[in-house]
Structure 1
């Protein structure tokens, strides 16, 4: 009897949530239609291009023509999927079917987009990027994306952008079906302008206090744009080893257990050891150079070694450093067991569990996903010659003052999350208790 009552209550709550989401979407539609009317009125009154810039009034063909906002699972953010599609995606004839490639997944706020060029140069393949933006000047955001695509052909060819905004944001130009104007900024200064935040409000940065930064929402949104069989989720300020994508693809095609959609290939995370490097240093191309720089100069060290060593140590850096691989190739070096609070970066099947979108700001956002993967029965295999480099040392003094409070709040949520996994995976004997 009690079980029946509980089920009825849960069903009622789900119904209420659905109704609230529909109301949210209706409000978004009404507000944006209103904003579009105002915007059209302004344009009819006459609004010229920025001085000294080139205005492009023709519609960007890779821009979605009818953008519709969707809500995240918490109902706090609105999402514009495929806000600007890569040229390769537009040309693809099999957009509905996953292919054998690996898509690099990342997310950031507008002022961190200058990191994107380094990623594109190294990856040389499909990228899906979710950008968090808020503030009154949506046209600035459009101009930044347009300029990056025009100044860096590889960005236009390989990167698909998605946009995430707070539910309270009224976006003037997104719902307009008419041709949009884009202003091309200076190719010579665009990266420095983004870095210096001269194009955005000072509050437009990751983990801004005014609006909670929805890292897991952004990761899921970016993942939705991946059509490949494998995905590789990294932070925007990280750079992979040279040729990692092509070397992994060779492994997936030559290995019998990875050639097809086997249970092993679907349930294995291919861990890529992560390191951090002092600012303004050259990112090493291969493992040999990385080990040399680490031992001789000391400007490279394991990722999070100062702030959260247990978050990465389970990867077993000592064993990885002493593993001899084949030059110009990546292979599985060894496997490791999951351990509490581990948050490795990995290449995985596109069906790996999504990120829990309740986790925002700092703390437990990636840990929670790996925790669920353990309960779901995933294996963790470390690749021998692959690595990631984070640009800049992670130091405790570099975080904002509210980080500890955010960690405590997310830890409480994580305790509830652990209990929920017992219900979600009732037949699993694995747990991820802290």
Structure 2
């Protein structure tokens, strides 16, 4: 084996130069180790001789490494790949410079076992940084599936960096805040601030301006962030992202970008006649998965370099066809030494015109699947069913299961506070499950579908507010036919049910054209239906000054939206504390010829086709509405609060929220109306408004209330505690509620 001459051995860490050090004097260490760079030394000079010697040594070292690995088989057989506090893989610094594993490494890595020399992949609690550009409602849904696939496999803390528009920021910030995944940090960066960096580039790609925003990431991300994995939103991971993070160790001192070769013929220019792609190195590279050494990129002047490249090529190409990918490839064509080619299984690109099937011999070899086509799941590939099923697994996977702790790594303060709150509960309390429900944090995905409504008349506009679960989904189309105004809905669903709802809404001729409905998914967790939490979420997302608080199994009369807006003006809700009562009726018939006027409704009431709401089982709930007076009323009239009053009302959006201690069936609306009265709202019945409850099967919660004495006991306990809290909040004036309750 060659020994380095003294002149070469001298160029080592002792001089503070960024040069490979070869502590070979004892013949034991042959791995390169990077050292700090002397900033005064010209970059990349005096390295050619050293690199040529390294290449010579590599050829000899290949045989030596193989002999070493074979001698260590006995020492590593039976191990699971975990040593001490670090994760291990085959040495990341001993592979070829193009990023491909050697033949012997590939042959011994099947099934995550290896007989190669081993070294730490990432430290146990090493923080992995991931960046995504995410804009709009659809991309926000897609990125959740990507995140699920990463969280499922990960064993390290993660820091997600999202470049977002206002829509995605609102959606993802509430999602991660409510998700509360341990050892996950999230940062957001305003895409508006980056638009000026790339808006000058004409782009024909369907991603629009957001498809160019990976280019200025060195400027957008924190200056102290040295490296990051950049991902498209249509990516699915099939392995631990730490394996990808470890590839940074394979970069040479010159390399700054890690990419997988493009698997289509796009950059070869032979897809159709006169096809003229941007310049690229061979097949070019795909930018769905990128490793960026940010520190080095800033050092070599990346911002100026990609701009100059884009300006030069646009003089002849006029626009980009593949957004940032064209500019990255043109840059690499001019600077090939700066790219580190990743193995193709780190970005298996699925579309109708790729050679992705040549990338793997078995699907178990795959690391990352990239749905690299506007057609997404409809692409042609002989293994597409396998890929689709893998994707659907994460799409419908219960995200609550990903809230697992990373033992040995610091947890977030929010997780600690929730754990402390749970520990304070008495598990022997008969109502433990009710009290636990109150502190449960449900995952929340706001604006699950596209929402574009902007109030046209902000002074009087009104939003219908309601909540529902999967068994009430069929009511949505009917409500839309009766109410043309904005709607805010909280939907209590599992991850799988949310996808069923998505397919239902996209296939509905009624729903797919309505853009003024905000659908907010609250993911299932716990034993009870959190009805008042759902109402509060829908209420908070209403973006009009007034709200109509109703339930999804009621159909409002035709033109109620216009009638309520006129009533708001006439009764001066802007300057008075009023709750406008919409009288409620019900039918026991599943098919009903809906009344078109008050006169028609009264006729149906007299014929027994309709009844006042809950006339047979709970008359107290709506008796104060005074239906006898309403029959002949032509003007609005005031009614007084009575015990158990629970009308459906129109109020200002700044009304008090619902009390979330009440879950499932019982007292959820009663408590809210009681607090409105405590705040001195006047209840005013509208003379020409009505709504009709449509029949449906009893809910699971009402069945529990009727069959469980324990359930009824806990509801009584919660009512007493609510009365006490109301008295502390509103003083002596609230004593009347306790008195009224005792007189029932």
- 1:157 aligns to what SS in structure 2? coil
2-side partners of 1:84 and 1:249: how far apart?
26
Partner of 2:630: 320
Go from structure 1 to structure 2 and tell me whether the alpha carbon gap of 1:320 and 1:167 turns closer, same or farther (over 3 Å shift): same
2-side partners of 1:232 and 1:251: how far apart?
12
**CA contact under 8 A between 1:130 and 1:164: conserved in structure 2?**
yes
Partner of 2:507: 147
- 2:461 aligns to what SS in structure 1? strand
**CA contact under 8 A between 1:87 and 1:156: conserved in structure 2?**
no
Give the gaps of 5 or more residues in structure 2. 1-175, 186-232, 240-346, 348-365, 380-402, 404-413, 419-436
Partner of 2:594: 283
1-side partners of 2:463 and 2:701: how far apart?
30
Go from structure 1 to structure 2 and tell me whether the alpha carbon gap of 1:241 and 1:23 turns closer, same or farther (over 3 Å shift): closer
Partner of 1:235: 551
2-side partners of 1:135 and 1:295: how far apart?
46
Are residues 1:105 and 2:408 paired? no
2-side partners of 1:231 and 1:112: how far apart?
21
Aligned equivalent of 1:357, options 639, 648, 660: 660
Alignment of 1:239-258 (within 5 A): 239-255=555-571, 257-258=572-573
Aligned length: 332
Partner of 1:348: 651
Aligned equivalent of 1:414, options 713, 716, 719: 719
- 2:181 aligns to what SS in structure 1? helix
**CA contact under 8 A between 2:472 and 2:552: conserved in structure 1?**
yes
Measure how far apart 1:282 and its partner are.
1.6
Are residues 1:220 and 2:585 paired? no
**CA contact under 8 A between 2:585 and 2:611: conserved in structure 1?**
yes
Partner of 1:400: 703
Go from structure 1 to structure 2 and tell me whether the alpha carbon gap of 1:283 and 1:154 turns closer, same or farther (over 3 Å shift): farther
Measure how far apart 1:75 and its partner are.
2.5
2-side partners of 1:363 and 1:83: how far apart?
29
Are residues 1:118 and 2:478 paired? yes
Measure how far apart 1:87 and its partner are.
2.8
- 1:400 aligns to what SS in structure 2? helix
Partner of 1:27: 182
Instruction: Tell me the alpha carbon deviations over residues 74-101 of structure 1, each in whole angstroms, 9 at most, x when there is no partner.
Output: 2342222222242324xx699xxx6421
2-side partners of 1:426 and 1:159: how far apart?
39
Go from structure 1 to structure 2 and tell me whether the alpha carbon gap of 1:154 and 1:378 turns closer, same or farther (over 3 Å shift): farther
Partner of 2:582: 272
**CA contact under 8 A between 1:126 and 1:159: conserved in structure 2?**
yes
Higher relative contact order (CA 8 A, sep 6+): 1
Stretches (4+) displaced over 4 A: 21-24, 38-43, 45-50, 69-73, 135-138, 393-399
Measure how far apart 1:420 and its partner are.
0.1
Measure how far apart 1:141 and its partner are.
3.3
Partner of 1:44: 369
Aligned equivalent of 2:678, options 375, 385, 403: 375
- 1:108 aligns to what SS in structure 2? strand
Instruction: Tell me the alpha carbon deviations over residues 290-334 of structure 1, each in whole angstroms, 9 at most, x when there is no partner.
Output: 1001112x12001111221111111111111132x2xxxxx51x1
Partner of 1:307: 617
2-side partners of 1:244 and 1:275: how far apart?
15
Partner of 2:523: 165
**CA contact under 8 A between 2:587 and 2:611: conserved in structure 1?**
yes
2-side partners of 1:167 and 1:42: how far apart?
31
Go from structure 1 to structure 2 and tell me whether the alpha carbon gap of 1:225 and 1:85 turns closer, same or farther (over 3 Å shift): farther
Partner of 1:84: 449
- 1:275 aligns to what SS in structure 2? strand
- 1:88 aligns to what SS in structure 2? coil
Go from structure 1 to structure 2 and tell me whether the alpha carbon gap of 1:335 and 1:166 turns closer, same or farther (over 3 Å shift): same
- 2:448 aligns to what SS in structure 1? strand
Go from structure 1 to structure 2 and tell me whether the alpha carbon gap of 1:371 and 1:222 turns closer, same or farther (over 3 Å shift): same
Instruction: Tell me the alpha carbon deviations over residues 125-184 of structure 1, each in whole angstroms, 9 at most, x when there is no partner.
Output: 100111010154653333223333xx225752221100101358xxxxxxxxxxxxxxxx
**CA contact under 8 A between 1:132 and 1:218: conserved in structure 2?**
yes
**CA contact under 8 A between 2:459 and 2:545: conserved in structure 1?**
yes
Give the gaps of 5 or more residues in structure 1. 1-20, 51-68, 169-210, 326-330
Measure how far apart 1:249 and its partner are.
1.2
**CA contact under 8 A between 2:447 and 2:518: conserved in structure 1?**
yes
1-side partners of 2:511 and 2:177: how far apart?
39
Go from structure 1 to structure 2 and tell me whether the alpha carbon gap of 1:322 and 1:230 turns closer, same or farther (over 3 Å shift): same
2-side partners of 1:23 and 1:385: how far apart?
42
- 1:86 aligns to what SS in structure 2? coil
1-side partners of 2:548 and 2:183: how far apart?
32
**CA contact under 8 A between 2:236 and 2:370: conserved in structure 1?**
no
2-side partners of 1:139 and 1:122: how far apart?
26
Are residues 1:431 and 2:742 paired? no
**CA contact under 8 A between 2:178 and 2:444: conserved in structure 1?**
no
Are residues 1:75 and 2:440 paired? yes
